[in-house]
Structure 1
Amino acid sequence: MQKSKSFKELVVWQRAHQLVLSVYGLTKVFPREELFCLTQQYRRAAVSIAANIVEGYRKRTKPEKIRFLNIAQASLEECKYYALLSNDLGYADTIILQNSSEETSKLLDAYIKAIEASS
């Protein structure tokens, strides 16, 4: 595994960041009454994914890194539910966002496995 110079070089972070931007775009069209409920929760969870990848990137030990990446995984699962809920409530078609979440999840899993396998 080649060392990166910045979290911005991580493909998993790039995908997570794109997911955040997609969630912000999607939630702009949510009903106004959702502003302080679903919109806020969805955005917070999405930002948490990318932010915890960044925070884990800077940690020095494997257990610390993995702990933050696991928090990112949990936030990603939360976002998967919000996408499903948003779709079921008829606020937006979230199929593309759900697919993006799955791709990000696979990348995050692979990143964790690479850290665990590194010496």
Structure 2
Amino acid sequence: MQNYKELIVWAKSHQTTLNIYKISAVFPKEEQYGLTSQLRRSKASIPANIAEGCGRPSQKDFIHFLSISLGSANEAEYFLLLANDLGYVSQKTYEALKDEINQIKAMLISLITKIRSTINT
């Protein structure tokens, strides 16, 4: 298919994943196997599924993995909200990361729409 590293949405989601790892490193130890793990896994799933989709043989397969990425973005957004509500991240950090995740979601939706339009024509 294509090189996932050339996709802006992959690069942005990878960078946000790195940011999530940094901020979650200071979460309480008792959250290591709970919220910390869930937030990290849901966020890392976004660029991982984009990469996997790029290696699939068809555009429909690629769309499927982009859709999984979109679901993971929604999941990560929730876990970030939970971390904020529990006081593990500041409001400023929460807002910045939430904005990044929402940008990624918009980019994923746009890419899915674009690919679908090429399949249906």
If the length of structure 1 is used for normalisation, what is the TM-score?
A: 0.92
State yes or no: 1:36 paired with 2:39: no
Q: Give 1:53's aligned residue.
A: 50
4+ long deviations beyond 3 Å: none
5+ residue gaps, structure 1, are: none
Calculate percent identity across the aligned residue pairs. Answer: 38
Cα separation, 2, equivalents of 1:64 and 1:9: 18
1:95 is aligned with what amino acid?
Answer: E
Q: Post-superposition shift, 1:29?
A: 1.1
Cα separation, 1, equivalents of 2:53 and 2:45: 12
State yes or no: 1:73 paired with 2:70: yes
Q: Give 2:17's aligned residue.
A: 20
Q: Post-superposition shift, 1:5?
A: 5.1
State yes or no: 1:97 paired with 2:100: no
Cα separation, 2, equivalents of 1:89 and 1:42: 13
Q: Give 1:88's aligned residue.
A: 85
Q: CA RMSD in A?
A: 1.3
Q: Post-superposition shift, 1:95?
A: 1.0
Cα separation, 1, equivalents of 2:110 and 2:62: 14
2:81 is aligned with what amino acid?
Answer: L
Contact 2:2 2:55 in 1 (8 A): no
Q: Cα deviation per residue 1:74-116 (whole Å; 9 max; x = unaligned)? A: 1110000011101100001211100000001011111111111
State yes or no: 1:117 paired with 2:117: yes
5+ residue gaps, structure 2, are: none
